[in-house]
Amino acid sequence: MKIMKKRTTISDIAAHLGIHKTTVSRALKDSSSISKALSLKIKKAAKDLNYIPNRAAQSLSIQNNKTIALLLPSFGNNVFNDVVSGVKAVADELGYALMIGDATYSELGEERIVESYIQQAVSGFILTSSRHTDETIKMLKTTDAPVAEIMDMSDSTFDINYGVDHFNAGKEMTDYLVNVKGRKKIAFCSLLLDWRAVLRKRGWEQALHNAKLQDDMCLQSRADASFQAGAELLVESLHKWPDLDAIFFVSDELAAGAVMECNRRGIKPGKDIDICGFNDLSFAKAIYPSLTTVSTPRREMAELATRSLISVIEGKSVSETRKVFPYHIKIRETA
């Protein structure tokens, strides 16, 4: 299924104002032949109509550029290594180049990158977040380039959405700690919360609420995702709640750091306290004791999204434009 989107052109602005497109073009280039008042009027109309100059239009159209733009929340987050690998593998196979932008966990940062990439006439976008500024959504809705959102499910009407149900994943992991392991004092530890982390936390809260257990033991670090941050969160959690018997970490890096700190302190993960993470990164089963976590199919998701996006770019049909990918609870030694 192909969703056609019309990019605002100089001709559209001219028709909107009832003037010649040459006048619009000159005003947008700050020509001295256009009065200041008319120039301001034209520029306001251009902004209202979401006109974005296409710097690459003179040489390549969007359809011929054959470049995919992948926007990540952070280059430093290991979770997205599989996403990059998956997108690149399919892009290489189908003859597309790949541009990667780092939004630094900022919706405004994403907005700036999207505007820049639209000006460079990329063929399509893959976004790894479902939270965007209104301006980003407006720009993407009016560009010719199709858009795929991956990693979590969205209510948006972009062309493609493939993701994981992070709320239910968080709830199911917590249910396991409560119902199978018999844990009663379960904390949730995270970094500055992105939307997926918020959903996991809500799942944790719901499971504890259903079990009539304390659901306010939550800590958040301002550090980057690292083993050290996880170790520090463990120490702070045990200091704040000495009778804690489990911690659900929002990522494997944090959980692994907590496991290492437990080992240093003579605390036995999986016995004295349960530790679990999220994403099932490559080191999760290699550390000692091995990490209980939630496995998500990041590479598979990225590959399918890229293949589907390129089909939309090339005017081909896509059988599945929305798909919820399964997650799996990986029970290992720490919980």
Better pLDDT: 30 or 303:
303
By mean pLDDT, which of 36-45, 58-67, 149-158, 228-237 is the weakest?
58-67
Judged against a pLDDT cut of 80, whether residue 61 lies above it is answered with no
Q: Show the CA angle centred on residue 249, arms to residues 247 and 254, nearest 5°.
A: 115
By mean pLDDT, which of 149-153, 177-181, 313-317 is the weakest?
313-317
- 50, 138 Cβ separation under 8 angstroms: yes
The reported pLDDT for the residue numbered 5 is 56
Cα 162 from Cα 150, distance rounded (Å): 5
- Average model confidence (pLDDT) for the chain? 90
Judged against a pLDDT cut of 70, whether residue 6 lies above it is answered with no
Could you tell me which residues come within 8 angstroms of residue 120 by beta carbon, excluding any fewer than 6 positions away?
A: 55, 56, 67, 99
Better pLDDT: 87 or 222:
87
- Indicate if 166-295 has the same CATH topology as 62-163+298-324: yes
Judged against a pLDDT cut of 60, whether residue 162 lies above it is answered with yes
- 201, 193 Cβ separation under 8 angstroms: yes
Q: Quick check: helix, strand or coil at residue 164?
A: strand
The reported pLDDT for the residue numbered 59 is 39
Reading the block at residue 215, the tokens are 């659901």
Judged against a pLDDT cut of 70, whether residue 245 lies above it is answered with yes
Judged against a pLDDT cut of 50, whether residue 58 lies above it is answered with no
- 335, 293 Cβ separation under 8 angstroms: no
By mean pLDDT, which of 153-162, 164-173, 279-288, 291-300 is the weakest?
153-162
The reported pLDDT for the residue numbered 60 is 47
Q: Which of 43-57, 107-121, 176-190 has the highest mean pLDDT?
A: 176-190
Better pLDDT: 205 or 53:
205
Judged against a pLDDT cut of 90, whether residue 316 lies above it is answered with no
Judged against a pLDDT cut of 90, whether residue 129 lies above it is answered with no
Percentage of the chain lying above the pLDDT 70 cut: 93
The pTM of the full predicted model, rounded to 2 decimals, is: 0.79
In the sheet that holds 186-191, the strands lie side by side as 218-221, 186-191, 246-249, 274-276
Q: Which helix (H) or strand (E) holds 92?
A: helix 81-93
Mean pLDDT over 72-89 rounds to 90
Judged against a pLDDT cut of 70, whether residue 169 lies above it is answered with yes
The CATH code of the domain at 62-163+298-324 is: 3.40.50.2300
Mean pLDDT over 296-310 rounds to 97
Give the class (CATH, top level) of 166-295. alpha beta
Mean pLDDT over 153-177 rounds to 94
The reported pLDDT for the residue numbered 7 is 73
The reported pLDDT for the residue numbered 55 is 55
Better pLDDT: 138 or 161:
161
Is the torsion defined by CA of 89, 91, 93, 95 positive or negative? Answer: negative
Mean pLDDT over 215-224 rounds to 90
Q: What is the pLDDT of residues 95-109, one digit of tens each?
A: 999 999 998 888 888
Task: Give the domain ranges of the chain.
Answer: 10-48, 62-163+298-324, 166-295
The reported pLDDT for the residue numbered 1 is 47
Mean pLDDT over 210-227 rounds to 92
